[in-house]
Structure 1
Amino acid sequence: MDTGLTAAESRELDTRLQKRQVKEFMSVFGNLVDNCFNSCVDDFTSKALSGRESGCISRCVTKSMTTQTRLGERFAELNAAASADMMQKR
Structure 2
Amino acid sequence: MDKSMFGDLASLPKEDQARMSTMIDQFQIRDSLRTYNTLVERCFTDCVETFWRRTLHKHEEACVKRCAEKFLKHSMRVGLRYAELNLGAGAATPDQ
Shorter-normalised TM range: 0.7 to 0.9
Change (3 A) 1:82 1:14: closer
Percentage identity across paired residues of the two chains: 29
Question: Is it true that 1:6 corresponds to 2:10 in the alignment?
Answer: no
Aligned residues, how many?
88
Shift of 1:78: 2.2
Equivalent residue number for residue 36 of structure 2: 29
Q: Where does structure 1 lack aligned partners over 5 or more consecutive residues?
A: none
Aligned-partner Cα distance in 2 for 1:4–1:71: 31
Shift of 1:81: 2.6
State the TM-score, normalizing by the size of structure 2.
Answer: 0.80
Deviation at 1:23, TM superposition (A): 0.6
Gaps spanning 5+ residues in structure 2: where? 1-7
Higher relative contact order (CA 8 A, sep 6+): 2
TM-score normalised per structure 1: 0.85
* Number of the residue aligned with 1:15: 22
Q: Displacement of 1:6 after TM fit?
A: 1.9
Does residue 1:75 correspond to 2:82, yes or no? yes
What residue number does 2:48 align with? 41
Partner secondary structure for residue 16 of structure 2: helix
Check whether the contact 2:43–2:67 (CA below 8 A) recurs between aligned residues: yes
Give RMSD over aligned pairs.
1.9
What letter matches 2:47 in structure 1? C
1:3 Cα deviation after fit: 2.0
CA contact (8 A) 2:9 2:17 kept: no
